[in-house]
Amino acid sequence: MQHYFEGKKVLITGASSGIGKALAIALSKFNTELVLASRNTNALEQVAAQCHSKAQVTVAELDLSARANHQAFVHKFEGFDLVFHNAGISQRSLVAETIFDVDHKLMEVNYLGTVHLTKLLMPAMLQQGGGHFIVVTSLTGLIPTPYRSSYAASKHALHGFFDSMRAELESQGIHITLAAPGFVQTNVSVNALIGDGSALGKMDHAQANGITAEHCADQILKATAKKKRLQLIGRESYAVWVRRFFPSLFARLIKKAKVR
């Protein structure tokens, strides 16, 4: 695994906490050039301080929803070998209780912002002969989940876009790995939006009992080094297969799933 990452220039979005932070610290053990991006530069500086001295680490402010600023970011840092699309926000609300602004916000950040940044980064990758996009989605991007309608839509959209992009560009050296974790012990539920657009402000029971961010990051990196197209992560991944082979059973089970 180490050989694949040695000497690579790497971008990690959402690197200020959770899975992004764990990816940054793990990758810093190799001779990599890391660009850690997030809206919270103070938190990024703290992550950078925890990174191994082998890596050259730069922090940069990046808001996926502020697409007007993406071009300047790419102009400053382009030439990445690996891009970890990890930034995003989640949701905890019923469809009937969710205002449209929440639907729009989740698509703006999770899907449109990621796609926009990808399209700006792609020309340099093609010019240098290839690269690798690693997209941290969610099992919710493969299966419907209560209280996650807008989030599920944004993650399903990522799978559709990047699977299609792979079909077009893999022959030109652009590799794409979609990593779909289940519950991970991060602040994703704390920052998740509820129906009125405010933050939930607390940790889900299911989230608190998930795998660690470090374990998740390790699985993502192993899948990346193998250039896997899809990596399911976590105990909940069995649900993907239940839905595929036993759709009626899945439909009954998901109504009772403890997702909060």
Q: Strand pairing of 56-61 and 82-85?
A: unpaired
In the set 111, 147, 151, 238, the catalytic residue is: 151
* Annotation marks residue 111 as catalytic: no
Query: Can you give 174-206 as a three-state secondary structure string?
Result: EEEEEEEECCECCCCCCCCECCCCCECCCCCHH
185 close to 213: Cβ distance less than 8 angstroms: yes
The alpha helices in the chain, defined as continuous H runs, are 2-5, 18-27, 41-50, 70-77, 100-106, 114-127, 149-169, 205-208, 213-225, 238-245, 247-256
Q: Which residue has 């209280």 as its token pair?
A: 147
113 close to 211: Cβ distance less than 8 angstroms: no
Compute the distance between CA of residue 133 and CA of residue 224 in angstroms, rounded to an integer: 9
Q: Which residues are catalytic?
A: 151
